[in-house]
Amino acid sequence: MSLAQVKDDLKPGLETQPIVNAFSITVGSVNGSGSQTSNLTILRALFKMGIPVSGKNLFPSNIQGLPTWYTIRVNKDGFLARCDESEIVIAMNPATLYKDLHDVQPGGAFFYADDIPLTNKRDDVSIYPMPVKAISRSSSAPTELRDYIANMVYVGVLARMINIDMEKIHLALHFHFKGKTAPIDLNFGVIQKAYDWANENLTKTDPYVVEPMNLTDECILADGNTAAALGSIFGGVQLAAWYPITPASGIAEALIEYMPMFRKDPQEPGKNTFAIVQAEDELAAIGMTIGAGWSGLRAMTSTSGPGLSLMAEYTGLAYFAEIPIVVWDVQRVGPSTGLPTRTAQGDLTFAHFISHGDTQIVILLPGSINECFEFGWKSFDIAERLQTPVFVLSDLDFGMNQWMADKFEYPDTPMERGKVLWEADLERLKGQWARYKDVDGDGVTYRTLPGNRHPNAAYFGRGTGHDENARYSEDNKVWHALLDRLKKKYEKAREFVPAPVIQKEPGAEIGIISFGSTDPAIQEARVELLKKGVKTDFMRVRAMPFCEDVREFIKAHRQNYVIEMNRDGQLHQLISLEYPTEVMKLKSIAYTDGLPLTARFVREAILAEEKI
């Protein structure tokens, strides 16, 4: 549909030019009322119309009853970070009616369920009542599904009022209900009724409409937890042990869903090449992971802050006994139980230094859904190559929200299984080997795996001091040499952890440094800043240890702003520790309130720092 058509289509009363594919929709509803299906249907339909779109769920830690909001941003230029403003608001929750009304941008549109009495109105927004009860009652839905179905009414009304393609809505339902005709027909019936009702009864007076584009053809819509799980599946994960926790459960649940599809053995039909174990707690989850890593399996666990705290002691053992494992930390707001359903980047320093004594953990920091997938498999290669735990820090915003992403790509390097000796190798070595002897001078030693039948294969793993032969030792020189070797391994990691992503603007004196899910907000802010004449370069760090590029980037700029979603500026702390001579060039912009970062915050923070 062309712009002219859209304009013709708009009913009289509209005075302004239509605003196409550049606005946000917020739906306010009651947690547990089933609005998620409706919201995802809208999101998916817009995506299938080829329009860049993102959806963010702002939900309480509650199963049923508390207010929840879902924001969909459509943006023809592809800026998909959260933004504070909503041009369209749909109010389904009586408890937040006036807050929702207040939140509509002037000139915007407000839809509400007409069984909620609305006495105070606003004359700078278009207000549209929706006969939610009447339409859902007239549907053929059984009574127990009525409330659920009621949420489909706003899908239909909105579809009519902003021109969402009904065919794409049908596609979205088809996907959601996995092709089952009964629920598809039931839901679509309600949507169609609501659409027809709006067509008959509403007059459009706001300017917001969508129009098909072709910017999503090569894209997928996925959440970071699913991406992480699928990446791990392609990484050959064999044992996944976990304990339920928001926002990390989705990783294990996606493994449960997809492992049987992709990981039956090609040689022994029907047999599994994997095991998933729900442990009794995170102590046991990481214990199982470490046991499996020790016996040569690709093993992972996934958790969030409170679980990570419980994993501290065991992680130290894996670090010290040199056992490859992968730990996903889908960060939420701490300290303590904190805000379990909100997002943050507050675990970085803890994850890096986790456990007592001198420990340094290799950390990967995905900054997109595609990197969640990529680091899903790559983390195993790094862990096995280094024989050390690798932590991957995602967050709730990635983990639990739907993101538009490029199609996942098949791993571009073969599996790196590290230094493992089997029977034939030991035969060749005439049985001469030592578990912790640095033969190659890179700090990484050879290991054997339980089940190796060579009589010289076995060794005794332990968290206590040990010599090159893994024998108990309290010798001071042996201890010192061992810790030095572990350090050497960590240094070695710089060569093959993912390098930072650097984007340059010719002539920029300002550098922005960040990691993880703040990427879209920063990308958008940089464009806005550039419009104001403020040029910035951008470096998104993707791993610890840092590589040399990080220092060079800092040096190359008059001022570097380290932007992150925590209170204390944890990335800033770690970079300052690593490059103490550069600290004058580093400034922390750290902020956390549970919500994903906005471009506005980034822009204004930098303008304020630069006194512009």
Partner 1 sequence: MADQKIASRTQVNLVGLGKADYRGNPSTLCQGCGHNSISSQIIAACYELDILPEQIVKFSGIGCSSKSPTYFLGRSFGFNGLHGRMPSLATGALFGDHTLRGLAVSGDGDTASIGMGQFKHVLRRNLRLVYIVENNGVYGLTKGQFSATAEVGLYLKGQGSNPYMPVDIAWEALVGNATFVARSFAGDPKQVKELIKAALSHRGIALLDIISPCVTFNNKDTAVHSYAWGKEHEVALHELSYVPPAEEIMVDYEEGEIQEVTMHDGSKVILKKLEHDYDPYNRAEAMRILEEANAKQWLLTGLIYIDPDKPSLLDIYNLTETPLNRLTENRLRPPRESIKQVNDLMF
Find out whether the peptide bond into 506 is cis, omega within 30 degrees of 0: no
Alpha helices in 208-311 (DSSP H): 224-234, 249-262, 282-294, 305-310
Q: Is 510 helix (H, G, I), strand (E, B) or coil?
A: strand
410 near partner 1, judged by CB under 8 A: yes
Site track 203-242 with partner 1 (rule: CB under 8 A), x = hit: -----------------xxx---x---x--xxxx-xx-x-
Least gap, CB of 235 to partner 1 (angstroms): 8
Question: Nearest to residue 326, comparing CAs of 246, 381, 275?
Answer: 381
Closest CB to partner 1 among residues 285, 351: 285
H helix or E strand, kind and range, residue 210: none
Which letter does DSSP use for residue 447 in this model? B
Options 287, 366, 367, 500; binder of partner 1; rule CB under 8 A = 287
Closest CB to partner 1 among residues 126, 359: 359
CA distance 386 to 487: 11
328 near partner 1, judged by CB under 8 A: no
Question: How far is the first Cα of the chain from the last one, in angstroms, to the nearest whole number?
Answer: 42
Least gap, CB of 511 to partner 1 (angstroms): 34
Beta-sheet strands, E only, within 21-159? 22-30, 53-58, 67-75, 86-91, 104-113, 126-130
Options 135, 162, 297, 522; binder of partner 1; rule CB under 8 A = 297
Length of the chain in terms of residues written = 612
265 contacts 272 by C-beta, under 8 angstroms: yes
Options 121, 356, 430, 453; binder of partner 1; rule CB under 8 A = 453
Contacts of partner 1 in 154-193 (CB under 8 A):
172, 175
Site track 257-286 with partner 1 (rule: CB under 8 A), x = hit: -x--xxx-xxxx-xxxx-x-x-xxx-xxxx
Site track 417-436 with partner 1 (rule: CB under 8 A), x = hit: x-------------x-xxx-
Q: Is 222 helix (H, G, I), strand (E, B) or coil?
A: strand
314 near partner 1, judged by CB under 8 A: yes
289 near partner 1, judged by CB under 8 A: yes
H helix or E strand, kind and range, residue 403: strand 402-406
Closest CB to partner 1 among residues 453, 477: 453
Torsion of CA 74, 76, 79, 81, to 10 degrees: 0
Beta-bridged to residue 540, according to DSSP, are: 501, 514
Closest CB to partner 1 among residues 286, 605: 286
CA distance 147 to 541: 46
Beta-bridged to residue 564, according to DSSP, are: 590
Query: Binding-site residue total for partner 1 (CB under 8 A)?
Result: 87
409 near partner 1, judged by CB under 8 A: yes
CA distance 443 to 163: 62
Closest CB to partner 1 among residues 357, 414: 414
Site track 529-568 with partner 1 (rule: CB under 8 A), x = hit: ----------------------------------------
Contacts of partner 1 in 46-65 (CB under 8 A):
47
Least gap, CB of 397 to partner 1 (angstroms): 18
CA distance 528 to 599: 8
Closest CB to partner 1 among residues 135, 404: 404
Rg (CA), the chain: 27
313 near partner 1, judged by CB under 8 A: yes
Residue 428: half-sphere exposure toward Cβ, Cα within 13 Å: 5
Closest CB to partner 1 among residues 308, 597: 308
Least gap, CB of 445 to partner 1 (angstroms): 12
Given the rule CB under 8 A, which of 290-298, 344-352, 497-505, 604-612 is the region that contacts partner 1?
A: 290-298
* φ, ψ (nearest 5 deg) of residue 463: -95, 0
Site track 355-394 with partner 1 (rule: CB under 8 A), x = hit: ----------------------------------------
Contacts of partner 1 in 457-516 (CB under 8 A):
457-464, 469-472
